[in-house]
Protein backbone atom coordinates (compact mmCIF):
# COMPACT_ATOMS: atom_id res chain seq x y z
CA UNK A 1 0.00 0.00 0.00
CA UNK A 2 1.27 3.46 -0.93
CA UNK A 3 2.38 5.54 2.05
CA UNK A 4 1.68 9.21 2.82
CA UNK A 5 5.34 10.20 2.76
CA UNK A 6 7.59 12.40 0.69
CA UNK A 7 11.35 11.87 0.56
CA UNK A 8 13.86 14.66 -0.12
CA UNK A 9 17.35 13.35 -0.81
CA UNK A 10 20.28 15.75 -1.13
CA UNK A 11 23.03 14.01 -3.07
CA UNK A 12 26.32 15.68 -2.15
CA UNK A 13 29.60 16.12 -3.98
CA UNK A 14 33.06 16.55 -2.50
CA UNK A 15 33.46 19.92 -0.76
CA UNK A 16 29.79 20.37 0.11
CA UNK A 17 28.66 22.30 3.16
CA UNK A 18 25.46 20.23 3.52
CA UNK A 19 24.72 19.16 7.07
CA UNK A 20 21.49 17.63 8.33
CA UNK A 21 21.64 19.45 11.69
CA UNK A 22 22.14 22.85 10.03
CA UNK A 23 19.36 21.95 7.62
CA UNK A 24 16.97 21.28 10.51
CA UNK A 25 17.88 24.60 12.18
CA UNK A 26 17.35 26.51 8.93
CA UNK A 27 14.06 24.75 8.25
CA UNK A 28 12.77 25.49 11.75
CA UNK A 29 13.77 29.16 11.25
CA UNK A 30 11.88 29.16 7.92
CA UNK A 31 8.75 27.93 9.68
CA UNK A 32 8.25 30.48 12.49
CA UNK A 33 4.63 29.47 13.03
CA UNK A 34 5.44 25.78 13.48
CA UNK A 35 2.15 24.20 14.44
CA UNK A 36 1.88 21.75 17.33
CA UNK A 37 0.87 19.13 14.77
CA UNK A 38 4.40 19.30 13.26
CA UNK A 39 7.43 17.86 14.96
CA UNK A 40 10.98 17.02 13.95
CA UNK A 41 12.48 13.63 14.65
CA UNK A 42 16.23 13.46 13.90
CA UNK A 43 17.62 9.98 13.24
CA UNK A 44 21.33 10.16 12.39
CA UNK A 45 21.68 11.36 8.80
CA UNK A 46 17.91 11.64 8.46
CA UNK A 47 15.33 14.12 9.69
CA UNK A 48 11.69 13.14 9.73
CA UNK A 49 9.15 15.94 9.78
CA UNK A 50 5.95 14.41 11.16
CA UNK A 51 2.53 15.97 10.77
CA UNK A 52 -0.72 14.82 12.28
CA UNK A 53 -4.25 15.62 11.23
CA UNK A 54 -3.80 14.52 8.48
CA UNK A 55 -0.99 12.07 9.07
CA UNK A 56 1.98 12.79 6.77
CA UNK A 57 5.78 12.47 6.85
CA UNK A 58 8.65 14.24 5.08
CA UNK A 59 11.93 12.32 5.17
CA UNK A 60 14.97 14.50 4.49
CA UNK A 61 18.52 13.24 4.13
CA UNK A 62 21.90 14.14 2.65
CA UNK A 63 24.06 11.36 1.22
CA UNK A 64 27.19 10.90 -0.87
CA UNK A 65 26.92 10.44 -4.59
CA UNK A 66 27.60 6.73 -4.97
CA UNK A 67 25.85 3.67 -6.46
CA UNK A 68 25.10 2.20 -3.03
CA UNK A 69 23.10 5.30 -2.04
CA UNK A 70 21.12 5.18 -5.28
CA UNK A 71 20.35 1.49 -4.73
CA UNK A 72 19.19 2.14 -1.15
CA UNK A 73 16.84 4.90 -2.29
CA UNK A 74 15.55 2.77 -5.17
CA UNK A 75 14.70 0.16 -2.56
CA UNK A 76 12.93 2.82 -0.41
CA UNK A 77 10.83 3.86 -3.38
CA UNK A 78 10.00 0.24 -4.19
CA UNK A 79 9.13 -0.64 -0.57
CA UNK A 80 6.81 2.35 -0.19
CA UNK A 81 5.32 1.81 -3.68
CA UNK A 82 6.31 5.29 -4.84
CA UNK A 83 7.65 6.14 -8.30
CA UNK A 84 11.20 7.49 -8.63
CA UNK A 85 12.70 8.53 -11.96
CA UNK A 86 16.09 9.44 -10.42
CA UNK A 87 16.15 12.94 -11.90
CA UNK A 88 17.20 16.05 -9.94
CA UNK A 89 14.43 18.37 -8.77
CA UNK A 90 14.16 22.16 -8.81
CA UNK A 91 11.12 24.38 -8.15
CA UNK A 92 9.78 24.02 -11.68
CA UNK A 93 10.10 20.25 -11.64
CA UNK A 94 8.60 20.01 -8.14
CA UNK A 95 5.59 21.96 -9.41
CA UNK A 96 5.23 19.37 -12.18
CA UNK A 97 5.54 16.49 -9.73
CA UNK A 98 2.80 17.91 -7.49
CA UNK A 99 0.58 18.48 -10.55
CA UNK A 100 1.09 14.89 -11.64
CA UNK A 101 0.34 13.58 -8.14
CA UNK A 102 -2.87 15.60 -8.12
CA UNK A 103 -3.85 14.27 -11.55
CA UNK A 104 -3.30 10.71 -10.36
CA UNK A 105 -5.66 11.38 -7.46
CA UNK A 106 -3.00 11.28 -4.75
CA UNK A 107 -4.73 13.99 -2.74
CA UNK A 108 -2.81 13.30 0.49
CA UNK A 109 0.08 15.40 -0.90
CA UNK A 110 -1.99 18.52 -1.63
CA UNK A 111 -2.08 20.05 1.90
CA UNK A 112 1.72 19.90 2.17
CA UNK A 113 2.85 21.35 -1.15
CA UNK A 114 3.93 24.69 0.32
CA UNK A 115 5.99 22.92 2.97
CA UNK A 116 7.63 20.82 0.26
CA UNK A 117 8.76 23.98 -1.54
CA UNK A 118 10.19 25.39 1.73
CA UNK A 119 12.16 22.16 2.28
CA UNK A 120 13.51 22.32 -1.29
CA UNK A 121 14.48 25.97 -0.88
CA UNK A 122 16.41 25.27 2.33
CA UNK A 123 18.20 22.28 0.75
CA UNK A 124 19.19 24.32 -2.31
CA UNK A 125 21.03 26.83 -0.11
CA UNK A 126 23.81 24.30 0.47
CA UNK A 127 26.53 24.11 -2.17
CA UNK A 128 27.32 21.05 -4.26
CA UNK A 129 23.97 19.35 -3.59
CA UNK A 130 21.51 17.89 -6.10
CA UNK A 131 18.04 17.38 -4.68
CA UNK A 132 15.90 14.37 -5.58
CA UNK A 133 12.40 13.50 -4.42
CA UNK A 134 10.39 10.34 -4.00
CA UNK A 135 7.80 10.29 -5.42
CA UNK A 136 9.09 11.96 -8.54
CA UNK A 137 7.24 11.93 -11.77
CA UNK A 138 6.33 14.47 -14.32
CA UNK A 139 4.34 14.36 -17.47
CA UNK A 140 6.70 13.67 -20.32
CA UNK A 141 4.62 14.95 -23.16
CA UNK A 142 5.66 16.89 -26.21
CA UNK A 143 4.01 20.03 -24.82
CA UNK A 144 5.74 19.87 -21.45
CA UNK A 145 9.08 19.57 -23.26
CA UNK A 146 8.20 22.56 -25.44
CA UNK A 147 7.46 24.76 -22.47
CA UNK A 148 10.39 23.43 -20.47
CA UNK A 149 12.85 24.37 -23.20
CA UNK A 150 11.35 27.80 -23.83
CA UNK A 151 9.42 27.42 -27.04
CA UNK A 152 8.75 25.51 -30.22
CA UNK A 153 11.91 26.70 -31.95
CA UNK A 154 14.17 25.26 -29.27
CA UNK A 155 12.12 22.06 -29.07
CA UNK A 156 12.47 21.56 -32.81
CA UNK A 157 16.18 22.26 -32.64
CA UNK A 158 16.57 19.39 -30.21
CA UNK A 159 14.44 16.81 -32.00
CA UNK A 160 15.33 17.68 -35.59
CA UNK A 161 18.95 16.77 -36.13
CA UNK A 162 19.05 18.02 -39.74
CA UNK A 163 17.57 21.42 -39.06
CA UNK A 164 18.67 21.70 -35.44
CA UNK A 165 21.58 24.08 -35.92
CA UNK A 166 19.58 26.43 -38.18
CA UNK A 167 16.65 26.52 -35.79
CA UNK A 168 18.83 27.01 -32.75
CA UNK A 169 20.47 29.96 -34.48
CA UNK A 170 16.97 31.25 -35.35
CA UNK A 171 15.97 31.07 -31.70
CA UNK A 172 18.97 33.18 -30.72
CA UNK A 173 18.38 35.79 -33.45
CA UNK A 174 21.55 35.12 -35.46
CA UNK A 175 21.74 35.10 -39.24
CA UNK A 176 20.90 31.71 -40.70
CA UNK A 177 20.29 30.20 -44.11
CA UNK A 178 17.04 28.81 -45.40
CA UNK A 179 16.78 25.64 -47.50
CA UNK A 180 17.68 27.48 -50.72
CA UNK A 181 20.89 28.77 -49.16
CA UNK A 182 19.68 32.37 -49.03
CA UNK A 183 20.78 34.39 -46.02
CA UNK A 184 18.02 35.88 -43.95
CA UNK A 185 17.72 37.59 -40.60
CA UNK A 186 16.08 35.19 -38.17
CA UNK A 187 13.15 36.46 -36.18
CA UNK A 188 13.37 35.98 -32.47
CA UNK A 189 10.66 34.04 -30.70
CA UNK A 190 9.51 34.82 -27.21
Q: Do 146 and 162 fall into the same domain? A: yes
Residue 34: give the domain boundaries.
5-134
Q: Do 117 and 156 fall into the same domain? A: no
Q: Do 116 and 152 fall into the same domain? A: no
Residue 99 lies in a domain: yes
pLDDT reading at 175 higher than 70: no
Q: How many domains does the chain have?
A: 2
Q: Give me the pLDDT at residue 2, please.
A: 63
Interval 138-156: pLDDT, tens:
544 444 444 444 443 333 3
Q: Do 48 and 87 fall into the same domain? A: yes
Question: Final residue of a domain: which of 134, 158, 173?
Answer: 134
Q: For 41, how many CA atoms within 13 A lie in the half-sphere containing its CB? A: 9
Residue 190 lies in a domain: no
Q: Do 85 and 53 fall into the same domain? A: yes
Average pLDDT over residues 32-43: 82
Q: Do 125 and 34 fall into the same domain? A: yes
Q: Do 166 and 74 fall into the same domain? A: no
SS3 175: strand
Residue 43 lies in a domain: yes
Calculate what percentage of the chain has a pLDDT beyond 70.
70
Interval 65-106: pLDDT, tens:
888 888 888 898 888 888 988 899 999 999 999 999 999 898
Q: Do 36 and 57 fall into the same domain? A: yes
pTM of the model: 0.70
Please tell me the distance from the alpha carbon of residue 67 to that of residue 65, in angstroms, as a whole number: 7
Q: Give me the pLDDT at residue 54, please.
A: 81
Q: Do 21 and 67 fall into the same domain? A: yes
Strands of the chain, DSSP E: 5-12, 38-43, 46-51, 56-64, 129-134, 175-177, 183-185
Q: Give me the pLDDT at residue 114, please.
A: 92
Amino acid sequence: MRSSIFFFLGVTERGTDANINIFQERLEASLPDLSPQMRFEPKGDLVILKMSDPDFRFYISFANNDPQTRNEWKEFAKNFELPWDMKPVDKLRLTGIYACLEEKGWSEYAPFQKLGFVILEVMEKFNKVKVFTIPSMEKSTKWSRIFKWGGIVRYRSIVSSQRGKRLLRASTGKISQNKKGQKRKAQQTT
